[in-house]
Amino acid sequence: MEKSDLTVVSDIAQFLEVEELSEECRELISSLPTEKCLLFGNLHQYRGFWHPTKILQTILTCQNQFEARDSDIYLVTLPKSGTTWLKAMAFALVNRTQYDPKSTQHPLLSYNPHQLVPFLEFPHNDVVSSTPRLFSTHLPFVSLPESVKKSGSKIVYLCRNPKDNFVSRFHWQNKLRRQELGSISLEEAFESFCRGVYIYGPIWDHALGYWKQSLENPERVLFLKYDEMKEDPGNHLRKLADFIGCPFSKEKESFNVVDQISELCSFDHLSNLEVNRTGKLPSGVINSNFFRRGEVGDWKNHLTPQMAQKLDEIIKQKLGASGLTF
Ligand code: A3P
């Protein structure tokens, strides 16, 4: 496999630093609501969702330039919803003929899943060796490039219950924040989360956008939940394989392969690999930061009953009669 030769920056703040904005982006920003980002710089509300300045630029570039193919597969998540896990699973599934999941040479043993499935909206080299092409994105449905929307490609959306998403995000932000800025308090982060003002937020509109698409176009959009996937990864792998067009047979051996992929991509296995304990991505993120606890319900260790109730109420009200529940 080819190694990416993207420049590695020191940390995420450096990654988010804006080098140069296009005229289009500068004009757009001047017309958008703007707030401070807890992590670094500013957030701009574009088509209902909040993005750091640099990411807004990369979104526009991607909308203008990205050419989708009907055979593409897009893995869509909000940050801290299980992106790393979904990337690992999809990569292992799509490439299982080329890379035996038991092989000691499997790419997931020496690459972080983010190196194997690039983000649509971040700079990436053409190292995508999968056929079909696999991409991931945190973009809300409204902001996907038109070529993706119009193509016959497959979209897999993975969401996570908002309370765990918040807690995971809270820890993540503090790990990524430059030390000299001090830590973000739980209360401060919670207040932003309840208002929906954080990178790619709000969670309710993000999830609803894909939920509606999955109801209208079930053959194009598969809607999954992290919490359910944790309960039964094997069945989710089969569902995912069916959906993306590489189904498992009903033969006994296929059950072994499902188990092998499930084990290969499990939290315990991935988080203990050398590459994920010591490596670093071009965005400056340390690979080990993608692995914290990987559990459902960790919010109980962090949120007060009042916080949990407040967030539950907001989510219930925002999801309304959509049929989507957490
Ligand atoms: P926690 O912070 O709750 O532990 P993302 O990949 O979207 O950044 O999400 C990160 C979250 O997914 C973290 O949650 C992380 O621990 C968890 N995670 C990472 N790899 C996982 C895996 N293989 N299985 C289950 N959860 C995983």
Q: Are 160 and 80 in contact (CB under 8 A)?
A: yes
Q: Which of 51, 106, 114, 138 is catalytic?
A: 138
Range 34-47 average pLDDT:
94
Q: Is 235 part of a structural domain of the chain?
A: yes
Q: Is the CB of 270 under 6 A from ligand 1?
A: yes
Q: Is 1 part of a structural domain of the chain?
A: no
Range 243-270 average pLDDT:
92
Q: Is 107 part of a structural domain of the chain?
A: yes
Q: Is 325 part of a structural domain of the chain?
A: no
Ligand 1 centre to CA of 19 (Å) is 30
Pocket test for ligand 1, best of 198, 232, 262, 290 (most atoms within 8 A of CB): 290
Q: Supply the range of the domain harboring residue 160.
A: 67-319
Q: Give the relative orientation of helices 53-65 and 23-30 as an angle to the nearest 10 degrees.
A: 130
Q: Is the CB of 78 under 6 A from ligand 1?
A: no
Q: Is 47 part of a structural domain of the chain?
A: no
Range 317-325 average pLDDT:
97
Phi, psi of 107 (to 5 degrees): -55, -30
CB neighbours of 248 closer than 8 A, spacing ≥ 6?
A: 238, 241, 254, 257, 258
Q: pLDDT tens digit string along 140-161? A: 999 999 999 999 999 999 999 9
Q: Is the CB of 141 under 6 A from ligand 1?
A: no
The token duo for 208 is 């609803």
Q: pLDDT tens digit string along 56-83? A: 999 999 999 999 999 999 999 999 999 9
Confidence band for 8, pLDDT divided at 50, 70 and 90? low
Pocket test for ligand 1, best of 75, 80, 89, 136 (most atoms within 8 A of CB): 80
138 is catalytic: yes
Number of separate domains in the chain: 1
CATH number, domain of 77, equals 3.40.50.300
Give the pLDDT of residue 55. Answer: 93
The token duo for 176 is 């990524």
Q: How far, in Å, CA of 297 to CA of 302, rounded? A: 10
Q: pLDDT tens digit string along 258-300? A: 999 999 999 999 999 999 999 998 888 899 999 999 999 999 9
Confidence band for 244, pLDDT divided at 50, 70 and 90? very high
Q: pLDDT tens digit string along 219-241? A: 999 999 999 999 999 999 999 99
Q: Is 58 part of a structural domain of the chain?
A: no
CB neighbours of 172 closer than 8 A, spacing ≥ 6?
A: 79, 80, 289, 292
Q: Is 248 part of a structural domain of the chain?
A: yes
Q: Is the CB of 239 under 6 A from ligand 1?
A: no
Confidence band for 9, pLDDT divided at 50, 70 and 90? low
**Bridge partners, 51 (sequence order):** 44
Q: Is 51 part of a structural domain of the chain?
A: no
- Model confidence at 197: pLDDT above 60: yes
Pocket test for ligand 1, best of 165, 167, 291 (most atoms within 8 A of CB): 291
Q: pLDDT tens digit string along 296-316? A: 999 999 999 999 999 999 999
